[in-house]
Structure 1
Amino acid sequence: MSGTHSLHPSPSSGDHACCHAPKKAAPTEHVCDTHTPAAPAPHAHHGHGAHGGSMAGLTTSATLHCLSGCAIGEFVGLAIGVSLGLNPWATMALATALGFASGYTLGLWPLVKQGMRWGAAFKTLWLGETISITVMEFAMNFTDYHVGGVTAGSILAPQFWIGYALALPAGFVAAWPVNWWLLKRSIKKPCH
């Protein structure tokens, strides 16, 4: 999720590594990456319903965000593979690699924009994103392969577009429960 917000640590949380980069704060304002006893406030950041919605809404939003990143790389990889006449396995490998690249980039960019370094941002989200993207890419490629999109003669063939159109909801449906589990256990952070 790409919204920005500042939340405060709870007095009982001690030092808490938040997934947001520190922002410049007013003298009396503190961000969620350090604990300041003088200004205790609830740290609702990891309460999962803290973004004004239910756990289901948060999961849906996180899954759609992941799908957006995967869909970009997946489409480019499929288009290149089909256009070059690569075999289905090479096409799916290319689509998966580009799906990971664009999925990670879409997840990393909001954190980097907030001031995090690329390495620190990657450490923050790599595990949750890797699991989510893996499940999503598997479901998308499995569907596209069985529909025949990766074996289409060209990207102008209806089979290519039908395969891609069915792969997107398949990826969403497969990744949604995984993202719910990841968010519930704070493996995936809801802040990007």
Structure 2
Amino acid sequence: MEHETHAAHAHQHEAQAVATWAMAVQATLHCLTGCAIGEVLGMVIGTALGWANLPTTVLAVILAFFFGYSLTLRGVLKAGVGLRAAIRVALAADTLSIAVMELIDNGVLVLWPGAMDAGLGTVLFWVTLTISLAIAFVATTPVNKWMIGRGKGHAVVHQYHH
């Protein structure tokens, strides 16, 4: 029992040692890609349908999760993992990262004066969306580094890329 505890503890330190900022940035860029696709598509659809801010934002968040998970699923499935296992990997790898990204991104948009009412054709919309995603990236990168350092998040995905 003591040997197993020591081995688990040594493995934990080993996992923490491989968590680099470069890995965290790469994982966060992956997250940002899915979130940005979902955010923009959700805003375009909601605006085109004449929806109010809340349902448009909800759609954008749902699509951000969908595209974030889809990008991970694509890579894991390509590595030969079955669909059920790939879905579990995507959920484990991306849920916290996407949640933090979306919380920060949408929080900035809600707090920025006039951003929620800016139309897609305005500079204000695109500038605030860009700034909100940049702030979300900066806030989410340490979260991803922390998760990778504990063998969670994108560390789970990386085991399928080898």
Q: Shared fold (TM-score greater than 0.5)?
A: yes
Residue 84 of structure 2 is aligned to residue 150 of structure 1:
no
Q: Which runs of 4+ in 1 moved over 4 A?
A: 46-50
Identical amino acids, percent of aligned pairs: 35
Letter in 1 for 2:20: M
* CA shift digits 1:104-149 (9 cap, x unpaired): 0011111101111221111123123111100001111111222233
Aligned with residue 130 of structure 1, among 67, 73, 95: 95
Structure 1 gap segments, 5+ residues each: 1-11, 13-45
Aligned with residue 44 of structure 2, among 79, 86, 92: 79
Deviation at 1:85, TM superposition (A): 2.8
Q: Does the CA contact (< 8 Å) of 1:145 and 1:151 recur in 2? A: no
CA distance in 2 between partners of 1:47 and 1:65 (Å):
21
The 5 A counterparts of 1:2-81 are 47=15, 55-81=20-46
Letter in 2 for 1:133: I
Residue 79 of structure 2 is aligned to residue 118 of structure 1:
no
CA distance in 1 between partners of 2:81 and 2:55 (Å):
35
* CA shift digits 1:162-182 (9 cap, x unpaired): 121112102101211111111
Between Structure 1 and Structure 2, the one with more helix by share is 2
Structure 2 gap segments, 5+ residues each: 5-13
Q: Does the CA contact (< 8 Å) of 1:91 and 1:150 recur in 2? A: no
CA distance in 2 between partners of 1:165 and 1:117 (Å):
36
- Distance change >3 Å, CA 184–CA 108, structure 1 → 2: same
Counterpart for residue 65 of structure 2: 100
Tell me the TM-score normalised to structure 2 length.
0.80
- More contact order relative to length (CA 8 Å, sep ≥ 6): 2
Tell me the TM-score normalised to structure 1 length.
0.68
